[in-house]
Structure 1
Amino acid sequence: MSIDLSVIWFVIIVFATLMYIVMDGFDLGIGILFPATRSAEDRDVMVNSVAPVWDGNETWLVLGGAGLFGAFPLAYAVIIDALTVPLTLMLIGLIFRGVAFEFRFKATPSHRPFWDKAFIGGSILATFCQGIAVGAVINGFRVTGRSYSGGALDWLTPFNVFCGLGLVVAYALLGATWLVMKSSNPLQDRMRYVAKRLLLALLVIIAVISAWTPLTHPAIADRWFSLPNLFFLLPVPLLVLVLSAWQWRCLNNPHSHTRPFLLTLGLVFLGFSGLGISIWPHIIPPSITLWQAASPAQSQGFMLPGALLIIPVILVYTSWSYYVFRGKVQHGEGYH
Structure 2
Amino acid sequence: MTVDLDLPTVWAFIIAFAVFAYVVMDGFDLGLGILFPTLAVGEERDRAMNTIAPVWDGNETWLVLGGGGLMAMFPLAFSIILPATYPLMIAMLLGLIFRGVAFEFRWRDPGHRRYWDIAFSLGSTVAALAQGITLGAILQGIKVENDAYAGGWLDWLSPFTLLTGISVVIGYTLLGSSWLVWKTDGAVQAHARRLAFALGIATLAALVAVSLATPFLTQDYWRRWFVTPGVLVTAQVPLLTAIVAAVFFWSLRRGRDYLPFLMALAIFLLSFIGLGVSIYPHIVPRSVTIWQAAAPAQSQLFLLVGAVIVLPMIVAYTSWAYWVFRGKVDTHGYH
Structure 2 CA distance, aligned partners of 1:319 and 1:162?
33
The answer to whether structure 1 residue 165 and structure 2 residue 154 are counterparts is no
The answer to whether structure 1 residue 70 and structure 2 residue 72 are counterparts is yes
Structure 2 CA distance, aligned partners of 1:162 and 1:180?
27
Q: Does the 8 A contact of 2:130 with 2:165 survive in 1?
A: yes
For residue 51 of structure 1, what is the aligned residue in structure 2?
53
- Range moving further from structure 2, 35-44 or 95-104: 35-44
The answer to whether structure 1 residue 175 and structure 2 residue 176 are counterparts is yes
For residue 285 of structure 2, what is the aligned residue in structure 1?
285
For residue 250 of structure 2, what is the aligned residue in structure 1?
249
For residue 121 of structure 2, what is the aligned residue in structure 1?
120
Aligned-partner residue type, residue 254 of structure 2? N
* SS of equivalent residue, structure 1 residue 19: helix
For residue 91 of structure 1, what is the aligned residue in structure 2?
93
For residue 138 of structure 2, what is the aligned residue in structure 1?
137
The answer to whether structure 1 residue 318 and structure 2 residue 307 are counterparts is no
* SS of equivalent residue, structure 2 residue 167: helix
Structure 1 CA distance, aligned partners of 2:298 and 2:226?
39
The answer to whether structure 1 residue 219 and structure 2 residue 223 are counterparts is no
Structure 2 CA distance, aligned partners of 1:6 and 1:246?
36
Unaligned segments of structure 2, at least 5 residues = none
The answer to whether structure 1 residue 209 and structure 2 residue 216 are counterparts is no
Residue correspondences, number: 331
Unaligned segments of structure 1, at least 5 residues = none
Q: Does the 8 A contact of 2:50 with 2:331 survive in 1?
A: no
Q: 1:99-139 CA distances to partner (integer Å, 9 max, x unpaired)?
A: 00000011133x00000000000000000000011101111
> Could you tell me how far 1:170 is from its partner in structure 2?
0.5
Q: Does the 8 A contact of 2:51 with 2:333 survive in 1?
A: no
Aligned-partner residue type, residue 90 of structure 2? T
* SS of equivalent residue, structure 2 residue 160: helix
> Could you tell me how far 1:3 is from its partner in structure 2?
6.5
Structure 1 CA distance, aligned partners of 2:93 and 2:102?
14
TM superposition outliers: structure 1 runs of 4+ over 3 Å = none
Aligned-partner residue type, residue 19 of structure 2? T
Give the RMSD, CA atoms, in angstroms. 1.1
Structure 2 CA distance, aligned partners of 1:316 and 1:63?
15
Structure 1 CA distance, aligned partners of 2:250 and 2:333?
31
Structure 2 CA distance, aligned partners of 1:279 and 1:51?
36
Structure 2 CA distance, aligned partners of 1:172 and 1:218?
32
Structure 2 CA distance, aligned partners of 1:202 and 1:324?
30
Structure 2 length as normaliser, TM-score?
0.97
> Could you tell me how far 1:53 is from its partner in structure 2?
0.5
For residue 32 of structure 2, what is the aligned residue in structure 1?
30
Structure 2 CA distance, aligned partners of 1:333 and 1:303?
39
Aligned-partner residue type, residue 164 of structure 2? C
* SS of equivalent residue, structure 1 residue 153: coil
Structure 2 CA distance, aligned partners of 1:330 and 1:38?
14
* SS of equivalent residue, structure 1 residue 283: strand
Q: 1:64-111 CA distances to partner (integer Å, 9 max, x unpaired)?
A: 1111011100000111110000011000000000000000011133x0
Structure 1 CA distance, aligned partners of 2:27 and 2:311?
19
The answer to whether structure 1 residue 18 and structure 2 residue 7 are counterparts is no
Q: 1:291-318 CA distances to partner (integer Å, 9 max, x unpaired)?
A: 0011111111121111111111101110
Structure 1 CA distance, aligned partners of 2:118 and 2:161?
25
Q: Does the 8 A contact of 2:15 with 2:70 survive in 1?
A: yes
> Could you tell me how far 1:229 is from its partner in structure 2?
0.7
Structure 1 CA distance, aligned partners of 2:114 and 2:45?
11
